[in-house]
Structure 1
């Protein structure tokens, strides 16, 4: 195992657990977490906050959309997508895009329905 995160709200129990694990396994305590698998973690007095803003920015750059303006994108619940036979698309390109967006839904549940719909549609292209 490369990375392990301990969380807890009882400081003495947390310290005991950490000390026991460090005795049993070769471990390094790096302190409070700042990043984990592309997710940024900010620990403040009023809570722990996670985001993927750097990852989202990277996605926009990768797909040439960094200059676009953000908008809300409500999705109809019973929307059905159909292929436009007049447009030739590279399915691999869109599968990479959809995969990137699927990972982004870890911290952006507001885009989950739209990504789910597109992902389901992409599965029918094969």
Structure 2
């Protein structure tokens, strides 16, 4: 069971226990059964025959629009091979508030995008004094998201054998 403010999600592996729990919750609280989960806290959920697929396609599109990257050319590699990101004290400084907004938005996307987790945590290190170079790396991640907007995480259904 997962509870967030006034939303509750529960799942089961025992159909009878699930029905009892649902009945007791509906008796105790004014609840509406919305059926299978499709969307929760910006995460899209698709329950398929092969498992559960979660993504943040809608949120990623909103992030791209927010930072004016929705018209940017998509790429399929989030970082240049062999590139090393450093503090770059001699670099041209940029507005750290704007940079922080980008990094924070990307941090939330890592819930369903483990492919960018390393890079986002890398650019996160430079939030106190970002330079144009750090900003270019952040923009490259956004361009990568544009090119891979349909990516997400699939939790495959496993057959239980006795």
- Give the TM-score normalised by structure 2: 0.68
Aligned to 2:104: 99
Tell me: higher relative CO, structure 1 or 2? Use CA pairs within 8 A at least 6 residues apart.
Answer: 2
Structure having the larger proportion of residues in strand: 2
Separation (CA, whole Å) in 2 of partners of 1:120 and 1:88: 15
Unpaired stretches in structure 1, ≥5 consecutive residues: none
Deviations along 1:57-86, one digit per CA (max 9) or x if unpaired, are 11111111123213222588xx44223545
Describe the SS at the equivalent of 2:7. coil
How many matched pairs? 125
SS in 1 for 2:118: helix
Residues 45 and 55 in structure 2, CA contact (< 8 A), matched pair in contact too: yes
Task: Tell me by how many angstroms 1:116 deviates.
Answer: 0.4
Q: What 5-or-longer segments of structure 2 have no aligned partner?
A: 131-162
1:49 aligns with 2:53: yes
In structure 2, C-alpha distance between the alignment counterparts of 1:31 and 1:15, rounded to whole Å: 13
